[in-house]
Amino acid sequence: MGLGLAGAVSAALIGAGVADLAGGETAEVTAPSLTVAQPADTPTAPAACTGLSGTTITSDAGDDASLTGVIAAFEHAYYVRRDPAAALDVLAPDTGITAEALAAGIASIPPGSTHCVAITPIADTAAEIHLVELHPDRSRVDYLQVVNVAPRADRPRAVCITNIQKR
């Protein structure tokens, strides 16, 4: 199954409004259609997760208690909730990302799009991610990134995203 060429932080995580932070390229490909019989009691993974591999593969809500949790929380706020304030809440203030930029990025993604993220920690405070954005027309955009986190000063036992960059 073919995956898209390396993606950009600006379009996937924070859209066109944040393009100056990381820049990059995206490649759009049509997602393959797969039919797999599953037992009735087995949850079905979102189509956007097809072909991903990593330590954690998720489209769930996440939390701010861990590296993988905060990445999942950001992506969920961005793609599912489509809520700039919720996405901003898991970012460190010094990222330079604004609510307006997040809102513009979210608005650039067609309603009904889904996502999935494969997260592979490479250190206690860093992970490689492979993010998939799947549009209703079945076009797929893949983004390869490195995300860094740090402890939050304002919340005990919580972390926030401090940096997102293309890999």
Distance between CA atoms of residues 126 and 109, nearest Å: 26
Query: Could you tell me which residues come within 8 angstroms of residue 25 by beta carbon, excluding any fewer than 6 positions away?
Result: 5, 6, 7, 8
**pLDDT tops 90 at residue 148:** yes
**pLDDT tops 70 at residue 136:** yes
pLDDT given at position 156: 87
CA within 13 Å, CB half, 128: 9
| Residue 42 DSSP code | S
Q: Average pLDDT in the 140-155 region?
A: 94
Distance between CA atoms of residues 74 and 86, nearest Å: 8
**pLDDT tops 90 at residue 15:** no
The encoded tokens of residue 71 equal 């990445």
Per-residue pLDDT tens over the stretch 87-133: 999 999 999 899 999 999 999 999 999 999 999 999 999 999 999 99
CA 153, 159, 160: angle at the middle one, nearest 5?
A: 90
CATH of 9-15+24-31+45-166, one of 3.40.50, 3.10.450, 3.30.70, 3.30.460: 3.10.450
pLDDT given at position 46: 82
pLDDT given at position 3: 29
Q: Average pLDDT in the 147-155 region?
A: 93
Per-residue pLDDT tens over the stretch 30-77: 343 333 333 334 456 789 999 899 999 999 999 999 999 999 999 999
**pLDDT tops 50 at residue 84:** yes
